[in-house]
Structure 1
Amino acid sequence: MRVLGIDPGTATTGFGLVDETERGELVVADYGVIETQAGTPMELRLLELYHKMQELLFLHRPERGAVEKLFFQRNVTTAISVGQARGVILLALAESNIPVAEYAPLEIKMAITGYGVADKKQMQQMVQSLLRMPKLPKPDDAADALAVAICHLHRYRLDDLSLMGGAE
């Protein structure tokens, strides 16, 4: 199964494609960031993000999508723009008939490190280890997107086991 993990943002959106082999191994298919130019009107940035998402979906043909949920701290302006980016991303996935799951940052950290308050470096190191990558995945947004994809593959596997009555 191929999963596209997304760490949404207006300026920078991280993406990570992870394949799970029939033997249950996780393999990186691709990862990186989609960037939009600061100072460009928001509607044009969102349009660019949408078109780049369509290209990614066409090129890689993921079977599932996983998107990080909005984590609201203090900056309302940032939260609104991330919410707009999430909407465009969810639209592109829905238009391509790709089932989508959404995960909170805490869920992702727990799935990757087993520790809900893991820092960026710990997350990158675990993603590197789980995917047997020769070096730390960078930039941070791409590493986060890979973590979202891994989180979904772990969750999907657990949900699959519970439907079969558990592993015995």
Structure 2
Amino acid sequence: MTIILGLDPSLSCTGWGVIRAEGSRLSHIANGQIATHAKAPMAERLAQLHRELAAVIADHAPDRAACEEVFVNKNPQSTLKLAQARGAVLAACGARGLTVREHAARSVKKAVVGTGAAEKEQIQAMLKVLLPGVAVAGADAADALAVAIADAHGG
């Protein structure tokens, strides 16, 4: 049995999802989102991401974490903010001694839906099939659960 923490980092709203993998059987443990206030200073927002994710890790004691790889936006400022959020999230994992595996967005979609070109709605529909009874906290939490599932499938 392995407990996996999936992460979808973002400065505005970081999604997280925790699943249990027993062979090919998956089960949902928890999921949520960490939203930061857009007008708060950058240092406060990053500290909030780190602090709240550290609490999630303490609560659920995952064996490892999985995170979506960084992608480059057309807007360099957006890319920089995403990278800073990822840094806070990865630091929270590192501080707890978690190994973090990174997955490309296309490989996550392929692992969950069967095609790397899947839409968000398709991913959310498959989550209900793969994790029966799951109540997803929002789109970012759904993406984080998808990352955890991809990691469990060796994606």
Q: TM range, normalised to the smaller chain?
A: over 0.9
Is 2:92 aligned against 1:92?
Answer: yes
Determine the structure 1 residue equivalent to 2:148.
149
* Inter-partner Cα distance in structure 1 for 2:18 and 2:8: 12
What is the deviation of 1:38?
1.2
Report what 2:13 is aligned to: 12
- 1:94 positional shift: 1.1
Give the Å deviation of 1:24: 3.3
1:98-109, aligned counterparts within 5 Å? Answer: 98-109=98-109
- Deviation of 1:9 (Å): 0.4
Q: How far did 1:43 drift?
A: 0.8
Q: Is the 8 A contact 2:15 2:144 kept in 1?
A: yes
Instruction: State the AA in 2 paired with 1:57.
Output: I
Say if 2:111 and 2:150, in contact at 8 Å, map to a contact too: yes
1:108-135 per-residue CA deviation (whole Å, 9 max, x = no partner) reads: 0111111111001001011111111366
Counting matched residue pairs gives: 154
Q: Quick check: which has more Rg, 1 or 2? A: 1
- In structure 2, C-alpha distance between the alignment counterparts of 1:60 and 1:75, rounded to whole Å: 35
Could you tell me how far 1:93 is from its partner in structure 2? 0.8
- Write the mapping of 1:90-129 to structure 2, written as runs, cut at 5 A: 90-129=90-129
Q: Give, in whole Å, the separation in 1 of the partners of 2:134 and 2:90.
A: 32
Please state whether the residue corresponding to 1:3 is helix, strand or coil.
strand
Secondary structure at the residue paired with 1:155?
coil
TM-score for the superposition, normalised by structure 1: 0.87
Residues 1-168 of structure 1 aligned to structure 2 (within 5 Å): 1-21=2-22, 24-133=24-133, 137-155=136-154
**Unpaired runs of 5+ in structure 1?**
157-168
Paired with 1:35 and 1:42, the residues of 2 have a C-alpha distance of 13
**How far apart, in 2, do the equivalents of 1:79 and 1:111 lie?**
25
Tell me, in whole angstroms, the C-alpha distance in 2 between the residues paired with 1:139 and 1:78: 21
Q: Which structure 1 residue ranges, 4+ long, deviate > 3 Å from structure 2? A: none
